[in-house]
Structure 1
Amino acid sequence: MATTLQNMRKEPDSEKPVAFIDSTELTKWSFYRALVAEFVATLLFLYITILTVIGYKSQTDKDKPGTDACGGVGILGIAWAFGGMIFILVYCTAGISGGHINPAVTFGMFLGRKISLFGAILYMVAQCLGGICGAGLVKAFHKTNYNKYGGGANELAEGYNKGTGLGAEIIGTFVLVYTVFSATDPERKARDAHIPVLAPLAIGFAVFMVHLATIPITGTSINPARSFGTAVIYNKEKAWDDQWIFWVGPFIGAAIAAFYHEFVLKAGAVRSTRSSTNV
């Protein structure tokens, strides 16, 4: 009876850390299927969201007859497009690739030992290629508006310095990656297994909220593949001048989130569990 009670008190086992380098995954079809899933998901993400941005700018262009400055989906609608697409795509791909759809998320997962070095690098490549192809589809179907309204490229807004933009990207990405770690925690998954939509919903809302806060500053990246894909296809000087912000900021934010979750929150939880067990 005592043994049974002790087992009931145990927390669910955490996932074992992934090997730093795991060359065997390169021989598995499941790994390449995951890469395809990341590529397609990032392509769809860029296509829908960038098309939303360009459509909004076209609908509110004061130089076009019949437009309304208060028309279109607005910043709120753009934020919903980004957050909603992340919710949908994470829900669709989580069981196949983990549903990263973002090099910063992949980097955070790598630091948290959720993915190997080879896996992280190839995920990022697939995501960036997907971002390029997604932005390329928008330009192919709507070339005039694409070039006229900035191609949905991330650029630092007038009135803000690079430090402010970098800070916005760091904090925004921290919010996203912290949410990803918390929502996909194995202990939480075991407890909330009856709510399979919880993690994608939380992650989508994190993206939505960050966009509301930082669209006026950087157009909101928190995703290097999103910024890189649009910069490659739009290919204007301003987009490339600010590109470093949308890589350095998200990677720093992801690293801080990984450290905070793995070495502060999780470490504290382990100590707390051990203390209660000793009692």
Structure 2
Amino acid sequence: MAGSSSNDNPNNNKDYHDPPPAPLVDAGELGKWSLYRAVIAEFTATLLLVCITVATVIGHKRQSAEGAGDSCAGAGVLGIAWAFGGIIFVLVYCTAGISGGHINPAVTFGMLLARRVSLPRAALYMIAQCLGAMCGAGLARALHGGRQYERHGGGANELAAGYSAGAGLAAEMVGTFVLVYTVFSATDPKRKARDSHVPVLAPLPIGLAVLVVHLATIPITGTGINPARSLGPAVVYNGSKAWSEQWMFWVGPFAGAAAAMLYHQYILRGAAAKAFASSYLAHMHHAPS
């Protein structure tokens, strides 16, 4: 403001601005088309994510079965990981300016905890993501045919033989931590202000995080790290094992997302220290001399 001193506020020297916390409930938001446009974007993006990736998984298993003895048949674990990471890169790039490009209830949960989105928006996003995943799995089933879809497991997440439920839960937690930590780092206002000349910089590391996590955890759980991605194929495939282990693909990702939020916001960004310093300064300002 004109006439104010730059020394009045030490934050004036920053080349970025932290957005104010989103209200827990924003009634005015519910009457805006921008909210529903964002919900539609989340639905569509999750539909495309699940359709493309589940079709890749089924196609790999189908080609491997038909080309028995051929080690190069099918996309392989590396190809599946690239399918997940690549489509996430594309979809985040396309939807980030509309909805934030969450495409994952765990990411939305982390953003809610960080007060980046309101509770109604988060709830609508999660509903849209789950419905989109169901439709995407149904479309993948239609592409490959019901018999092949059922024969090759429907792309449903299940704990692999030889692994304990604790190992599967830990894999989901660690994998989601890596993803959500990357999302917070890539969308940090400080980084965005200084890297604005590279518009694809945020979607790229997010896609790479998804890729490397898949390489590490496909052998354990088939890689969920996204409750909607796990729920959609489970509904369409409707296998007893996929349902009995479904809890793992919700508890793990939500716990990992919460841990990533706490680590980024309160340790790396120092939100706790800043809040303490602000309250201390306010106390000292009002304390009697």
Q: TM-score w.r.t. structure 2 length?
A: 0.89
How big is the shift at 1:73? 1.3
Supply the AA of the counterpart residue of 2:193. A
Question: Considering only CA atoms, is the larger Rg found in Structure 1 or Structure 2?
Answer: 2
Residue 84 of structure 2 aligns with which residue?
82
CA contact (8 A) 1:40 1:130 kept: yes
Return the match for 2:101 from 77, 99, 102.
Answer: 99
Supply the AA of the counterpart residue of 2:64. T
- Residues in 2 aligned to 1:27 and 1:85: alpha-carbon distance in whole angstroms: 32
Q: CA RMSD in A?
A: 1.8
How big is the shift at 1:192? 0.7
Instruction: Check if 1:235 corresponds to 2:238.
Output: yes
Residue 277 of structure 1 aligns with which residue?
none
- Residues in 1 aligned to 2:67 and 2:250: alpha-carbon distance in whole angstroms: 39
Number of aligned residues: 268
Return the match for 2:42 from 34, 38, 42.
Answer: 38
| Regions of 4+ moved over 4 Å | 268-271
Residue 189 of structure 1 aligns with which residue?
192
Residue 61 of structure 2 aligns with which residue?
57
| Deviations 1:207-234 (CA, angstroms, capped at 9, x unpaired) | 0000000000000000000000000000
CA contact (8 A) 2:175 2:256 kept: yes
How big is the shift at 1:58? 0.7
Instruction: Check if 1:175 corresponds to 2:173.
Output: no
How big is the shift at 1:67? 6.6
Supply the AA of the counterpart residue of 1:169. E
Instruction: Check if 1:261 corresponds to 2:264.
Output: yes
- Residues in 1 aligned to 2:36 and 2:122: alpha-carbon distance in whole angstroms: 13
In 2 relative to 1, CA 26–185 (structure 1 residues): closer, same or farther, beyond 3 Å? Answer: same
CA contact (8 A) 2:184 2:261 kept: yes
In 2 relative to 1, CA 67–55 (structure 1 residues): closer, same or farther, beyond 3 Å? Answer: farther
How big is the shift at 1:70? 3.0
Question: What SS does the corresponding residue of 1:95 show, helix, strand or coil?
Answer: helix
In 2 relative to 1, CA 67–37 (structure 1 residues): closer, same or farther, beyond 3 Å? Answer: farther
Supply the AA of the counterpart residue of 1:114. R
Q: What runs of 5+ residues in structure 2 fail to find an aligned partner? A: 278-289
Identity among equivalent positions (%) equals: 64
CA contact (8 A) 1:59 1:67 kept: no
- Residues in 1 aligned to 2:272 and 2:93: alpha-carbon distance in whole angstroms: 28
Return the match for 1:10 from 11, 14, 35.
Answer: 14
| Deviations 1:124-181 (CA, angstroms, capped at 9, x unpaired) | 0000000000000111222221111000000000000100000000000000000000
Q: What runs of 5+ residues in structure 1 fail to find an aligned partner? A: 275-279
Supply the AA of the counterpart residue of 1:95. G
Supply the AA of the counterpart residue of 1:116. S
In 2 relative to 1, CA 162–27 (structure 1 residues): closer, same or farther, beyond 3 Å? Answer: same
Instruction: Check if 1:214 corresponds to 2:217.
Output: yes
- Residues in 2 aligned to 1:109 and 1:31: alpha-carbon distance in whole angstroms: 16
Residue 31 of structure 2 aligns with which residue?
27
Q: TM-score w.r.t. structure 1 length?
A: 0.92
How big is the shift at 1:187? 1.0
CA contact (8 A) 2:266 2:272 kept: no
- Residues in 2 aligned to 1:240 and 1:174: alpha-carbon distance in whole angstroms: 23
Return the match for 1:68 from 59, 67, 70.
Answer: 70
| Deviations 1:15-51 (CA, angstroms, capped at 9, x unpaired) | 1110011121110000000000000000000010000
